[in-house]
Structure 1
Amino acid sequence: MSGPANPLPVEALADYLRAQGLAGSAPLQVRVLAGGQSNPTYRVTAGEGRDYVLRKKPPGTLIASAHAIDREYRVMKALADTGVPVPRMLHYCESGELLGTPFYVMEYLAGRVLMDQSLPGMEPAERHAIYREMNRVIAALHAVDYRAVGLGDYGKEGNYVGRQIARWSRQCRESTVPMNEAMHCLMDWLPEHLPSGDETTLVHGDYRLDNLVFHPTEPRVIGVLDWELSTLGHPLADLAYQCMAWRIPPSLWRGIAGLDLPALGIPQEAEYIAWYGAATGRDAVGHWDYYLAYNLFRMAAILHGIAQRAADGNAAAEDAVETGAKAGPLAELGWESAQRYTATRK
């Protein structure tokens, strides 16, 4: 069957996949896994033992750097023989002739995608093991020799955080939607307090629980997904992105702040970053509040952009106004982190 969003030409796709050796004579079955503003994603079954995921760019005019499925395919293919679990890449089609836009095909991972970071319904020991595994995988990612796997030109080396701050600040200053005082403070403060000791590794850019596929029964990651924002960047900025969850309450955004973490079996933030430090040899503590302030600012800027699109009348999501309204409270959390950082540097 074909899903309702961006339905695929099933017969033509079946012929194409047969030509690539990815399908036999069995009828092709297609169903939507994700759509909307993300890269439309489908589960494709081409007979027994032939279960794939097809991911394509959305139709229409796109921002040049957005929906970079070619980069997703490239980075996951490069990571195939590393310590970072990724699905096996099977085919990339640059032409838009068949499906309207470029697409790639990868293996389907039969596992669990866990959406709620409090991991409801689990025992404390299992929650603890899930968090331990997430930490192990991001440490493994930052240990990859990106040049050795052919990703030496995957992004710019150095000053990743500085460039990101400049990019998001520029977008915010060009907007017409008002910003709260915390956003203005962060835009001034962040570039003035950039930590010394820059470092470059491969970074995921959106590393969080629901972008991981876990084994059906074991607390083991079998695949890291959604590499659209991956690049060469600063490893601690990448780690702090995930760790914003410890500072954000569930009532505001996807966070775990304020929950009874010991009772749940979820590590405290300090324990989580200590695991990473032990695994990588990096001092994740010294400038920690800076990288948290940066990430909370970045997320606030992203949500502010959604608020701007809602004000302009071209936001796709129905909850764009509600989502955009979260920018201010996130910026306030970021400014709190900035002030903590300043206090510790005196």
Structure 2
Amino acid sequence: MDITRGWDFASLDDPPPELIEELRRRYPVERETDRQLVRKLRRRGGAPYAPVSLQELSDAVARMLEDTIDGPFSVSDARWFTGGASKVQMGFVLEWEDGGRPRTDRLMVRMDPAESHNATSKLREFELLRALDGRLPVPEAFWVDDDARWFPYPALVYALIDGVAKPSRGVGANVAGLGTNFGPGLRERLAPQYLEYLARIHTLDLRDASLPSFDVPAVGTTQSALWELNRARRLWEEDRGVDVPLMEVAAGWLERTLPTLDHVSLVHGDYRSGNFLFDEGSARITGWLDWERAHLGDRHRDLAWSTQPVCGHYAEDGRTYLVCGLVPLDEFYDRYSELSGLEVDPERLRWYRVLNAYSMVASTVGSAWRVARLGKTHQDILLARVEGMRGVVLEELRTLLEDVR
């Protein structure tokens, strides 16, 4: 365990400041990413996740509203929301006055547990949702509690969007929305929208947007790829409990072959089925969710993520692979290029496929294992199941590395 210079894996249950600083020095990342990872490690030695009741969350909402709005308000119909492999979710109805105008909003709180297998920034997600309002169908962001001033843990409050993440009838989806089967009818109507929104996201001009927590990588350099690689390597070193030689091989190849950036895009970070809602009657996509991994960088990260095998399935003929259950793989890239005006570079795509596979191993064999082991989340059973995917994700990484030798 060279990175820890003598500390063993158990030291990561409550890492000393010297170890945290060594990881920061070895693997520099974006400012906001670094802040989140440091906060995660500094809080790791604290108490396990404690269940939070609906009343406690409702009280937290009330405290926040008392401090942030003027005038009367009422919070009602508090209820749990399922979904979200790493967040606590509560819906509620808010009656209030906004600038003297009465309004009623259906809202949701998305709150972190004590530690999530995704160390992400509520502040960054809040800024981005505000910037995308009117440009894409996204939830309206109302408030953010990035430092857990009002809530037990960092939280984001945004509007509920009507729609479903999978068909109400049919095969449905696996864990976390992976491999959703929409069926031929819905597939035909949703696929063009799926591609159109991906192209739109990657070509958005956000120069006039207020995104102070986002760093902008330099075109013509490897900065964007290095930030993403270092984030994945840091997660692996911070969370793992075993040595996996294959990960060392992968990290070495990724570092030697860093691609340069040709165009700065907004990257969703988890663009796939399960992360958009749609109306079943009209087959219209009503909202894009889960922007917690979004960053400014290389579009090939999203392209490689959407097309990884675990996100899709084969069509009824048993031969045609469907990207996220929607569009044949051989059509996906051509149609994307037509819509976006951006090329798909096979070499960059290959690099990000390997990076994504590396990240999946870090998330499952590393983060999911340690978070569940320390009792840091309400989703310990789900994370234990996710950690059980180690054989699948390691084989995917091994296969990809065989192809790039």
Give the 3-state SS of the residue equivalent to 1:318 in structure 2. Answer: helix
Query: CA separation of 1:22/1:92 partners in 2, compared to 1, >3 Å: closer, same or farther?
Result: farther
From 200, 203, 209, the equivalent of 1:143 is 203
Q: 1:42 — aligned with what?
A: 90
8 Å CA contact 2:126–2:144 kept in 1: the answer is yes
Query: CA separation of 1:104/1:170 partners in 2, compared to 1, >3 Å: closer, same or farther?
Result: closer
Query: CA separation of 1:240/1:105 partners in 2, compared to 1, >3 Å: closer, same or farther?
Result: same
2:327 pairs with 1:270: no
Q: 1:178 — aligned with what?
A: 243
The one-letter code sitting in structure 1 at the alignment partner of 2:131 is A
User: CA offsets, 1:99-121, max 9 Å, x none?
Assistant: 3445443221111112625544x
From 107, 111, 127, the equivalent of 1:53 is 107
Give the 3-state SS of the residue equivalent to 1:28 in structure 2. Answer: strand
Q: 1:31 — aligned with what?
A: 79
CA distance in 1, matches of 2:229, 2:119: 18
From 273, 289, 295, the equivalent of 2:350 is 289
1:141 to partner: Cα distance: 0.9
Q: 2:340 — aligned with what?
A: 280
Q: 2:189 — aligned with what?
A: 129
User: CA offsets, 1:302-342, max 9 Å, x none?
Assistant: 11213641795546412544422423432332332344345
Q: 2:131 — aligned with what?
A: 78
The one-letter code sitting in structure 1 at the alignment partner of 2:366 is G
Q: 1:20 — aligned with what?
A: 69
Query: CA separation of 1:332/1:258 partners in 2, compared to 1, >3 Å: closer, same or farther?
Result: farther
Aligned length: 326
Query: CA separation of 1:106/1:243 partners in 2, compared to 1, >3 Å: closer, same or farther?
Result: same
Query: With structure 2 as the length reference, what TM-score do the two structures score?
Result: 0.68
CA distance in 2, matches of 1:153, 1:15: 26
The one-letter code sitting in structure 2 at the alignment partner of 1:50 is T
1:55 to partner: Cα distance: 2.1
Q: 1:251 — aligned with what?
A: none
Q: 2:381 — aligned with what?
A: 318
1:21 to partner: Cα distance: 7.2
From 303, 309, 313, the equivalent of 1:256 is 313
The one-letter code sitting in structure 1 at the alignment partner of 2:91 is R
1:292 to partner: Cα distance: 1.5
8 Å CA contact 1:76–1:86 kept in 2: the answer is yes
8 Å CA contact 1:177–1:308 kept in 2: the answer is no
8 Å CA contact 1:200–1:232 kept in 2: the answer is yes
8 Å CA contact 2:107–2:159 kept in 1: the answer is yes
CA distance in 2, matches of 1:322, 1:312: 12
Query: CA separation of 1:331/1:147 partners in 2, compared to 1, >3 Å: closer, same or farther?
Result: farther
2:289 pairs with 1:237: no
CA distance in 2, matches of 1:335, 1:11: 49
Query: CA separation of 1:24/1:297 partners in 2, compared to 1, >3 Å: closer, same or farther?
Result: same
Gaps (5+ residues) in structure 1?
249-253
From 355, 361, 365, the equivalent of 1:300 is 361
1:295 to partner: Cα distance: 1.0
Q: 1:224 — aligned with what?
A: 288
CA distance in 1, matches of 2:382, 2:159: 33
Query: CA separation of 1:285/1:41 partners in 2, compared to 1, >3 Å: closer, same or farther?
Result: same
Larger mean Cα displacement after TM superposition, 100-109 or 182-191: 100-109
CA distance in 2, matches of 1:59, 1:172: 20
Query: CA separation of 1:21/1:107 partners in 2, compared to 1, >3 Å: closer, same or farther?
Result: farther
CA distance in 1, matches of 2:388, 2:341: 39
Larger mean Cα displacement after TM superposition, 231-240 or 124-133: 124-133
Query: With structure 1 as the length reference, what TM-score do the two structures score?
Result: 0.78
CA distance in 2, matches of 1:50, 1:263: 44
Give the 3-state SS of the residue equivalent to 2:346 in structure 1. Answer: coil
CA distance in 2, matches of 1:339, 1:278: 31
Give the 3-state SS of the residue equivalent to 2:277 in structure 1. Answer: strand
1:70 to partner: Cα distance: 1.9
1:87 to partner: Cα distance: 1.5
CA distance in 1, matches of 2:321, 2:393: 26
Gaps (5+ residues) in structure 2?
1-50, 96-101, 167-171
1:31 to partner: Cα distance: 0.5
User: CA offsets, 1:134-188, max 9 Å, x none?
Assistant: 2211211111112222237512414222222233234435633132x54333122
1:45 to partner: Cα distance: 1.9
8 Å CA contact 2:140–2:158 kept in 1: the answer is yes
2:54 pairs with 1:7: yes
The percentage of aligned residue pairs carrying the same residue is 23
The one-letter code sitting in structure 2 at the alignment partner of 1:53 is L
